[in-house]
Amino acid sequence: MKTKMSVIKTLLSFFGWSAKAKVEEVKSNDNQEMKKFLIVGLGNIGAEYVNTRHNIGFKILDYFANQESISFQTQKLGEVAEFKIKGRTVLLLKPNTYMNLSGKAVKYWLEKENIEKDNMLVITDDLNLSFGSIRIKTKGSDGGHNGLKNIQLLLNSTEYPRFRFGISDAFKKGKQVDYVLGEWTLDEKEALKERLSISSEIIKSFALAGLNNTMNVFNGK
């Protein structure tokens, strides 16, 4: 930041402009960028996937949007909704690329809105966690998840915040795909109500309190 300011001051001095005014403008723009967040819910488009375990990312964002009375609009590479809270802008993104190409939508919206990876939270299902378990992490591998794998490929990084929602691994050998793309049981649907409420609070906490505080409060909750 100091280097950036020094260059600006030098150029402005050369041209005889007011350095103070222009520096304040740069600071303002930087602050605005810091206050913008991208929340990505992973899933597959299509009515047949709406209530499947693999679509928990979509489900959480739909729940959040409903609670906050905001609507998704079809835009490039996804469904997008905007939410404002205490001076911060939160963009909700449901990629319409299908799971395996999620990174294409993520990269586009990060660049379009000039949002840093640290201000992005990716919500995904996780077979390695018991149903409803919450794990928020600063970075990590794709864990065999095709959506995360594509994001990692296109961002060329594993260092971005993610919110893993446990769907458990209660399936027989060779039935993983059927299980992941299967619908929730009646008991799971009932338990989801409370889990969705907590997930909604996580989104707000990420934007207001930051990643570390959010992890401390919600991991294992």
Contact 57, 124 (CB under 8 A): yes
Is residue 54 flagged as an active site residue? Answer: yes
The rounded Cα 171 to chain-centroid distance in angstroms is 28
Residue 129: which of 202, 219, 39 has the closest Cα? 219
Q: Which of 38, 52, 54, 92 is catalytic?
A: 54
Parallel/antiparallel/unpaired status of strands 88-95 and 78-85: antiparallel
Parallel/antiparallel/unpaired status of strands 78-85 and 73-75: antiparallel
Q: From the CB of residue 197, how many other CB atoms can be counted at a distance below 10 Å?
A: 12
The set of catalytic residues is 54
